């Protein structure tokens, strides 16, 4: 095994150095940002905000300004890095494992020295997978620490950042390794394999994951009144928004809905019956129009006050992470397993 590790290092040292360097730089950056934010000394005592948006004390206002200053500049770059670097490094490490030897036409000789091609593939892939795993675990830990620190300022990770820390980051990175390994074995050339695998990984990360999350959101969403005070408390009430509706809770609604859908035509008729037709004034500034609006607004307000949002509670965030981790591991694992029959059947050049 140590001989296989040494050989892999000798063959793919550029990719290993580039990958480890990228991960190392980002992990150190995330660690430094975590330290910066922690050193601000923000505490729960700064919340809630008053109606004007001020924090509990003037000192808190200043601390939150510093917090936003960090998170909107260097902290923002770290967030982008945490979302992108693991899949990129996965591609860099995964593509050349089989593709390079096929491209250089050394596989026919290498395969003749091994009892089975599967054994050869395992000896080539395992050291790279090990390097990738260690690098992703380190980055995953740093990512989790970074996002835990953001919670001090009541900022959480968005749904697009489920794979920016912890186990989900490791899984997303390994998925990229698996896809890159398979595409490399199929194409037999490194650069084309890198481009194709990058397209597949981007498609999965952007479209595939979004579609899965949309399905989950529809299943997990619950109706809640839209007049929440989360902007004052800083406690985000929901993680995903699905729909909005106005409901009359005094009447029975359809399955899962808090009441019957508000009938705005009824309000229109009531407004016309009570206040007459709206004056023809697009600017809305004439005295006649204002008098009509003063009469009709309370009627329409009843409908507006009955606003509800169909949202997924923030407490469900961990479930999204778990599903993302499992889905990435499934795709990556499947791609790695498929590489074995591809290598077993393909021509050596």
**324 binding other proteins? (CB under 8 A):** no
Q: Map the footprint of other proteins across residues 216-245, applying CB under 8 A.
A: none
Q: Map the footprint of other proteins across residues 256-285, applying CB under 8 A.
A: 282, 284
Q: Taking the complex as a whole, how short is the minimal distance between the CB of residue 327 and other proteins, in angstroms?
A: 27
| Neighbouring C-beta atoms of residue 96, cutoff 10 Å | 25
Q: Report cis status (omega within 30 of 0) of the bond before 149.
A: no
The span from the CA of 77 to the CA of 29, in Å, is 9
Question: Which one, 13 or 251, has the nearer CB to other proteins?
Answer: 13
How many positions of this chain bind other proteins (CB under 8 A)?
A: 18
Q: How many CA atoms lie within 13 A of 236 on its CB side?
A: 20
**202 binding other proteins? (CB under 8 A):** no
Q: Taking the complex as a whole, how short is the minimal distance between the CB of residue 189 and other proteins, in angstroms?
A: 7
Q: Beta strand 238-248 with 307-313: parallel, antiparallel or unpaired?
A: antiparallel
Write out the two tokens for 296: 């009709």
Q: Taking the complex as a whole, how short is the minimal distance between the CB of residue 281 and other proteins, in angstroms?
A: 12
Q: Taking the complex as a whole, how short is the minimal distance between the CB of residue 15 and other proteins, in angstroms?
A: 7
- Nearest partner of 177 among 138, 124, 207, 132, judged by Cα: 132
Q: How many CA atoms lie within 13 A of 61 on its CB side?
A: 9
Question: Which one, 88 or 129, has the nearer CB to other proteins?
Answer: 88
Binds other proteins (CB under 8 A): choice among 32, 36, 141, 192: 192
Q: Taking the complex as a whole, how short is the minimal distance between the CB of residue 192 and other proteins, in angstroms?
A: 4
Residue 12 DSSP label: S
Question: Which one, 149 or 190, has the nearer CB to other proteins?
Answer: 190
R_g (Cα) of the chain, nearest Å = 28
Contact between residue 323 and residue 239 where contact means Cβ atoms under 8 Å apart: no
Write out the two tokens for 23: 């991960």
Across-strand partners of 224?
Answer: 309
- Nearest partner of 191 among 103, 314, 83, 298, judged by Cα: 103
Q: Taking the complex as a whole, how short is the minimal distance between the CB of residue 118 and other proteins, in angstroms?
A: 25
**165 binding other proteins? (CB under 8 A):** no
Q: Taking the complex as a whole, how short is the minimal distance between the CB of residue 167 and other proteins, in angstroms?
A: 27
Is 14 strand, coil or helix? helix
Q: Beta strand 238-248 with 260-261: parallel, antiparallel or unpaired?
A: antiparallel
Binds other proteins (CB under 8 A): choice among 194, 223, 238, 317: 194
**96 binding other proteins? (CB under 8 A):** yes
Q: Taking the complex as a whole, how short is the minimal distance between the CB of residue 180 and other proteins, in angstroms?
A: 11
**92 binding other proteins? (CB under 8 A):** yes
Question: Which one, 264 or 344, has the nearer CB to other proteins?
Answer: 264
**101 binding other proteins? (CB under 8 A):** no
The footprint of other proteins (CB under 8 A) covers 14-15, 18, 92, 95-96, 100, 103-105, 189-192, 194-195, 282, 284
């Amino acid at each position: 095994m140590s001989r296989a590790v040494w050989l892999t290092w000798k063959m793919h040292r550029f990719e290993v150095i580039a990958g480890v360097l990228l991960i190392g730089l980002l992990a150190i950056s995330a660690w430094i940002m975590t330290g910066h934010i922690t050193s601000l000394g923000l505490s729960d005592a700064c919340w809630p905000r008053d109606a004007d948006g001020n924090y509990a004390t003037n000192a808190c206002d200043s601390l939150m300004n510093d917090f936003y200053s960090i998170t909107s500049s260097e902290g923002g770059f770290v967030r982008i890095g945490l979302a992108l670097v693991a899949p990129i490094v996965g591609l860099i490490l995964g593509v050349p494992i089989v593709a390079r030897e096929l491209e250089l036409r050394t596989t026919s000789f290498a395969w003749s020295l091994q009892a089975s091609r599967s054994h050869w593939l395992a000896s080539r892939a395992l050291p790279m997978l090990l390097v990738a795993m260690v690098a992703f675990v380190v980055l995953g830990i740093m990512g989790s620490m970074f996002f835990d620190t953001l919670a001090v300022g009541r900022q959480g990770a968005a749904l697009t950042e489920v794979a920016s820390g912890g186990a989900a980051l490791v899984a997303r990175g390994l998925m990229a390794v698996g896809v890159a390994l398979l595409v490399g074995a199929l194409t037999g050339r490194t650069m084309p394999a890198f481009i194709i695998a990058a397209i597949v990984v981007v498609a999965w990360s952007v479209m595939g994951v979004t579609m899965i999350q949309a399905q989950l959101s529809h299943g997990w969403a619950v109706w809640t009144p839209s007049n929440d005070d989360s902007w004052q408390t800083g406690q985000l009430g929901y993680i995903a928004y699905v729909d909005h509706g106005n409901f009359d809770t005094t009447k029975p609604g359809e399955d899962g809905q808090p009441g019957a859908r508000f009938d705005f035509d009824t309000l229109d008729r009531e407004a016309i019956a009570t206040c007459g037709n709206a004056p023809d004034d697009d600017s809305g500034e004439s005295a006649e129009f204002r008098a009509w609006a003063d009469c009709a607004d309370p009627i329409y307000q009843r409908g507006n006050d009955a606003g509800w949002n169909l949202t997924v509670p923030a407490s469900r965030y961990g479930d999204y992470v778990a599903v993302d981790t499992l889905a990435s591991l499934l795709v990556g694992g499947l791609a790695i397993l498929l590489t074995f029959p591809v290598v077993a059947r393909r021509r050596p050049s």
